Chain A
Amino acid sequence: EAGVAQSPRYKIIEKRQSVAFWCNPISGHATLYWYQQILGQGPKLLIQFQNNGVVDDSQLPKDRFSAERLKGVDSTLKIQPAKLEDSAVYLCASSLETGGFQTQYFGPGTRLLVL
């Protein structure tokens, strides 16, 4: 079974530029998550999708971050414009369903450095 795929693996941009990350979840997984992991911290949920609907985006900085999951499969996360404090690893995860205990399967992450 193929795992969660993410690209690119690394990205370096200057502040105020825009950047986009892509995620392909495990086939058949209804729920997709985007997390931000700042160095030395645990993952923080940015947005959670159930199929192509948003379940939780309460911690997404909506003035600069946006995410979509068209057709309920792949997802993209965009930052525009980027700030220095956005430097982090952006993790995508998927699970079979939503709610209760769900094993979340994580991708390798995209490491973003904003200069």
Chain B
Amino acid sequence: QKEVEQDPGPLSVPEGAIVSLNCTYSNSAFQYFMWYRQYSRKGPELLMYTYSSGNKEDGRFTAQVDKSSKYISLFIRDSQPSDSATYLCAMNTGGFKTIFGAGTRLFVKA
């Protein structure tokens, strides 16, 4: 079993839709939960991070962590074609190593 599982998609939605991206994990020691966005032929860039459980909102993006279920989500409201990218979840125990999910490819159609 992988430490971090993420559905690779692709996920295709119309412009303006609410997008839900999810990851599950098996290591209960993870404390830091991150979402990276990766455009084609670019390196990943950090979108948001959350420490422990709870929600965090930044503009159209909301990150949720449910440690009891070992499940994290990223919601994108009013999705735009410019949101089309691969979204990677990533997790860290507070130590040296960050573990990345496989990434979900998102297409937002105009």
Of A42, A91, A101, which is within 8 A of B43 by CB? A91
Docked CA distance A55–B94 (Å): 14
User: Which residues of A are found within 8 Å of B51, using beta-carbon distances?
Assistant: 101
Q: Contacts A99-B94, A100-B94, A101-B32 given: A42-B101 contact, CB under 8 Å?
A: yes
Considering the complex, give the chain A residue whose CB is closest to the CB of B89: A42
Instruction: Determine whether A14 belongs to the interface, using a CB cutoff of 8 Å to chain B.
Output: no
CB contact list, B1-54 vs A, under 8 A: 4, 6, 8, 32, 34, 41-46, 49, 51
Docked CA distance A25–B45 (Å): 15
Of A40, A43, A98, A101, which is within 8 A of B44 by CB? A43
Instruction: Determine whether A44 belongs to the interface, using a CB cutoff of 8 Å to chain B.
Output: yes
**How many Å from the CB of B103 to the closest CB on chain A?**
5
Number of interface residues of B (CB under 8 A): 25
Q: Contact: B96 with A55, CB < 8 Å?
A: yes
Docked CA distance A4–B34 (Å): 20
Q: Contacts A101-B32, A101-B49, A109-B43 given: A40-B8 contact, CB under 8 Å?
A: yes
**How many Å from the CB of A35 to the closest CB on chain B?**
8
Total A-B residue contacts, Cβ distance less than 8 Å: 57
User: Which residues of A are found within 8 Å of B101, using beta-carbon distances?
Assistant: 42
Q: Contact: B41 with A108, CB < 8 Å?
A: yes
Docked CA distance A4–B102 (Å): 23
Q: Contact: A42 with B102, CB < 8 Å?
A: yes
Instruction: Determine whether A30 belongs to the interface, using a CB cutoff of 8 Å to chain B.
Output: no
Q: Contact: B98 with A4, CB < 8 Å?
A: no
User: Which residues of A are found within 8 Å of B97, using beta-carbon distances?
Assistant: 45, 48, 56
Q: Contact: A99 with B95, CB < 8 Å?
A: yes
Residue contacts A-B, CB under 8 angstroms, 14 given: A40-B8, A42-B101, A42-B103, A43-B88, A44-B100, A45-B98, A56-B96, A98-B96, A100-B92, A101-B32, A101-B34, A103-B49, A106-B45, A109-B43
B-side residues, CB < 8 A to A, are 4, 6, 8, 32, 34, 41-46, 49, 51, 88, 90, 92, 94-98, 100-103
Listed from nearest, the 5 A-B pairs whose CB atoms lie closest are A106-B43, A42-B100, A101-B32, A42-B102, A43-B100
